[in-house]
Amino acid sequence: MSAGAVATSIFGVFMVATVALGLLAVRGRGGQGGLAEWSVGGRSLGAVFIWVLMAGESYTSFSYLGAAGWGYNFGAPVLYVVAYMSCGYAVGYLVGPMLWAYAREHGLVGITDMIAHRYGRPWLGAVVAVLATVFLLPYIQLQITGMGVVVSTISYGSISLNWAYFLAFLVTTGFVVVSGLRGSAWVSVLKDVLVIATLAFLAIYVPLHYFDGYGDFLDRIVAEKRDWLTLPGAGDSGYGTAWFATTSLLNALTVVIFPTTVAGYLGARNADALRRNAIWLPAYNVLLFVPMLLGMAALFVVPGLTGADSNLALFKLVTDSLPAWAVGVIGVAAALSSIVPMAVFMLVIGTMWGRSVLSLVPRLQSQQRQKAASQTVVVIAGTLALIMTYAAPNTLVRLSLISYEGMAQLLPMLLLGLVWRRLSMAGAVSGLVVGVGAVCALVFTGNDPVFGVNAGILALVVNLAVALAVTWARPADADARPDAEVLASSDPDTDKRLEASGTSAAGSA
Amino acid sequence: MIRRRPHLLWLLVPFVLYIGALPFVNRVEPVVLGLPFFFAWLLAATVLTPVAAWLTWRGDRKARGEL
């Protein structure tokens, strides 16, 4: 068999296994539980599953492609990913249990649901759902492209890029519609085992194969590539310490309200599972150093990659130095790193629409219909991302630039709103509008970073100022509900009470 | 909240290590076990963050009388 056929066969076997695993995960639970079973795993996932799932979400194909590519192009600035994830887990220690308890108490399944409940306005949830979808779609497309590139590379070109994109879409959509969050957690187990094994292997193998071991590899980097080793990195990157600090800070705050992270939070059986996860999850970040360093190793082996090709820095090393079966296994690990996050992204979009947008249509209000509607939205969203991958790849690439910084603008409305009763709806909405406007204006005019600082954090400051000004300039919202009904509590005693009260609230979800 | 759960201050540790310390650690020398200093520092921070989270968690358990 040719190298391409070997690698492709291994890949195919694992893809079938992935779908089978997703089906197995929901065996015996089919049709029960409605939307909450599908979208947040019936709120019953234990600490280990949540760890695997959340590690799976945050460790995407970016880790193989983008991280190595950034390492190759710039060097040190790429470490912001490690910085914001670690800081984000610390914030999540507080915010995770708070959102979990709020959702559990009021039977909510996502951030748009929480916003609708907090401000007592279902339409506001719908508006935020549409906005969040615009920010999430680019991520689905990024994963489709990422997986497509991987599949095409590891098949030594025998699967074309366009077929690879379609395959990525087909496997993920089929699997998420059937199995929901529980299936994603199961497939995450397979993915994590493969990712840890392949990265650990590469970390040892590459320096030995191309250099005289680690000492030689690191000595050469220190001697020859000094620019890559400190901020602002190689070339005229613009990614200095101020950018590193502000981006890490902004992303650390944003990651805890990112709809996919929240889906993980809400899937937890109890709040303590989330707190314990905040301890273990940062340990996973140690793995991220591997692709970053390997990206820099590629500087010596395959110099001169530019543009999108630099994202292939790691895979060039892999296909160059390893036998076909090993290339296939590493390709599977990278492909699963696309599938798991993509599945959760689609799931979240489906859930948001089913719960916050389509539920405004009276005919679709029953539990079973909400779930069916959500699954339909998943297929539509996936198809849309696929079509745009073929037809207008640049549109979504541009959108992806504002995704994270745009999502950050929901921070005052959601987090501040949940702890501070006085924040008015008019204030929160005005802040959001101004914040998102500022992000678009700065990013699309090429001003990110602006004055060496992350543009999103500037927009967030303006957003917050507007929200406070409008709130104080106008009378308080007329809302007769007591604070306990509207606000969230981060008090550990609350979740004890919720756990003691069993599944009464969850059952109504 | 901080008065009742002072151990939450441990959660600031990653912010200090990754962000606060930046101006002092953004350098190649001294090389630590072959790693340039900036990488070595961030690797150490990545190993210490779980410890900080664990100290917070232990504080919460103690406060609830479970430890």
- Tens-place pLDDT, residues A389-416: 888 766 656 666 678 889 999 999 999 9
Determine contact, residues A82/B46, Cβ cutoff 8 Å: yes
Q: Residue A304 region, left (φ>0) first, then alpha (ψ -120 to 50), else beta?
A: left
Q: Is A323 on the interface with B (CB under 8 A)?
A: no
Does residue A55 surpass a pLDDT of 80?
no
Q: Is A157 helix (H, G, I), strand (E, B) or coil?
A: coil
Asked if A339 and A61 count as a contact pair (C-beta separation under 8 A), the reply is no
Contact between A218 and B35 using a beta-carbon 8 Å cutoff: yes
Q: How many A/B residue pairs have CB atoms within 8 Å?
A: 111
User: pLDDT tens-digit profile of A78-118?
Assistant: 888 888 988 999 999 999 999 999 988 888 888 999 999 99
pLDDT band at B66 (very low <50, low <70, confident <90, very high): low
3-class secondary structure per residue, A160-182: CHHHHHHHHHHHHHHHHHHHHHH
> In this predicted structure, what is the pLDDT of residue A506?
40
ipTM: 0.92
pLDDT recorded at residue A509: 33
Q: B42 in contact with A at a CB cutoff of 8 Å?
A: yes
In the block, residue with structure tokens 């000004």: A469
Residues within 8 A of B (CB atoms), A 231-260 only: 231, 241, 244-245, 248-249, 252
Return the DSSP state at A85: H
The predicted structure's pLDDT at residue A95: 92
Helix locations, A41-79, DSSP H: 47-58, 61-64, 66-73
Is residue A454 one of the residues assigned to a domain? no
**Mean pLDDT value of segment A172-184:** 80
The structure tokens listed for A472 are 């104080």
3-state DSSP call for residue A46? coil
Instruction: Identify all chain B residues contacting A91, using CB atoms and an 8 Å cutoff.
Output: 11
Number of domains in chain A: 1
A94 interaction partners in chain B (CB closer than 8 Å): 8, 11
Q: Which CB contacts under 8 angstroms, 24+ apart, belong to A44-49?
A: A44/A267, A44/A269, A45/A181, A45/A182, A45/A185, A45/A267, A45/A268, A45/A269, A45/A273, A46/A269, A46/A273, A47/A268, A47/A269, A47/A272, A47/A273, A47/A276, A47/A277, A49/A185, A49/A267
Q: Which range in A26-35, A48-57, A492-501 is most confidently predicted, on average pLDDT?
A: A48-57
DSSP code string of A199-231: HHHHHHHHHHHHSSHHHHHHHHHHHH-GGGGST
Cross-chain Cβ contact B50/A282 below 8 Å? yes
Question: Can you count the helices (H) and strands (E) in chain A?
Answer: 25, 0
User: B56 touching A, CB under 8 A?
Assistant: yes
In the predicted structure, residue A63 carries a pLDDT above the cut 70: yes
Residue A289 in domain: yes
- C-beta of residue B63 within 8 angstroms of C-beta of residue B39: no
pLDDT of residue A186: 81
Mean pLDDT of the A160-177 span? 84
Any B CB within 8 A of A91 CB: yes
Gap between the Cα atoms of A415 and A375, Å rounded: 28
Question: Nearest chain A Cα to B53, which residue?
Answer: A279
Q: Minimal CA–CA distance to A4: which of A170, A146, A152?
A: A152
Of A87, A214, A230, the CB nearest to B18: A87
Structural domain including A114 reads: 3-26+37-400
The per-residue b/e assignment along A117-151, b for 16 or more CB within 10 angstroms, e otherwise, is bbbeebebbbbbbebbbebbbbbbbbbbbbbbbbb
Per-residue pLDDT, averaged over A213-225, amounts to 79
- The string over A48-85, giving b where at least 16 C-beta atoms fall within 10 Å of a residue's C-beta and e elsewhere, is ebbbbbbbbbbbbbbbbbbbbbbbbbbbbbbbbbbbbb
| A158 in any annotated domain | yes
Residue among B7, B16, B39 with most chain A CBs within 10 A, to mutate: B39
pLDDT tier at A508, thresholds 50, 70, 90: very low
Q: Is B18 on the interface with A (CB under 8 A)?
A: yes
A177/A23 Cα distance (integer angstroms): 10
A150 pLDDT band, cuts 50/70/90, is: confident
Question: Does B27 contact A at CB distance below 8 Å?
Answer: yes
Cα–Cα distance measured from residue A69 to residue A78, given in angstroms and rounded to the nearest whole number: 9
Q: Which of B27, B28, B53 lies nearest to residue A90, judging by beta carbons?
A: B53
CB-CB neighbors (< 8 A) of A492 in chain B:
60, 63-64
Sort out which chain B residues have CB atoms less than 8 A from A277's CB and list them. none
Cβ-Cβ contacts under 8 Å, A89 against chain B: 14, 49, 53
What the block records as the tokens of A210 is 């191309």
- For residue A318, give the CATH number of its domain: 1.20.1730.10
Q: What is the DSSP letter of B35?
A: B
Is A159 a residue whose pLDDT tops 50?
yes
Q: Who's near A177: CB < 8 A, 6+ residues apart? A: A375, A378, A379
For A478, list phi and psi in degrees, rounded to 5: -85, 110
Q: Does B60 touch chain A (CB under 8 A)?
A: yes
- A438 or A482, greater pLDDT: A438
Contact A103, A351 (CB under 8 A): no
Q: Give the pLDDT confidence score for residue A126 in this predicted structure.
A: 92
Q: What is the DSSP letter of A475?
A: P
Contacts of B49 in chain A (CB under 8 A): 86, 89-90, 282, 285
E strands present in A368-426? none
pLDDT in tens, A466-482: 999 998 988 887 777 88
CA distance B66 to chain A (A): 12
Question: In angstroms, rounded to a whole number, what is the distance separating the alpha carbons of residues A328 and A204?
Answer: 18
Q: Are A22 and A175 in contact (CB under 8 A)?
A: yes
Residue A333's nearest CA partner among A154, A194, A152 is A194
Could you tell me if B36 lies within 8 Å of chain A, comparing CB atoms?
yes
Q: Cβ separation of B53 and A93 shorter than 8 Å? A: yes
Q: Is residue A457 part of a domain?
A: no
Name, of A63-72, A104-113, A497-506, the range with top average pLDDT. Answer: A104-113
Mean pLDDT estimate for chain A: 82
| Closest residue by Cα to residue B19 from A241, A448, A234 | A241
The single-letter code of the amino acid at A90 is: A
Terminal C-alpha separation, chain B: 21
Tell me if B22 and A94 make a contact (CB, 8 A cut-off): no
pLDDT at A500: 61
Distance from CA of B51 to the nearest CA of A (A): 7
A376 or A483: which leads in pLDDT: A376
What pLDDT does residue A32 have? 58
- Condensed to tens digits (0 to 9), the pLDDT of residues A344-398 reads 888 888 888 888 888 787 777 677 777 888 888 888 988 988 888 888 766 656 6
Lowest mean pLDDT among A295-299, A306-310, A476-480: A306-310
- Per residue in A325-342, pLDDT (tens digit) is 888 888 888 888 888 888
Structure tokens at A380: 């539509």
The answer on pLDDT for A437 being more than 90 is: yes
Contact A247, A454 (CB under 8 A): yes
Q: A47 or A189, which is more confident?
A: A189
Which residue of B5, B10, B46 to mutate against A (max A Cβ within 10 Å)?
B46
d(CA A199, CA A404): 27
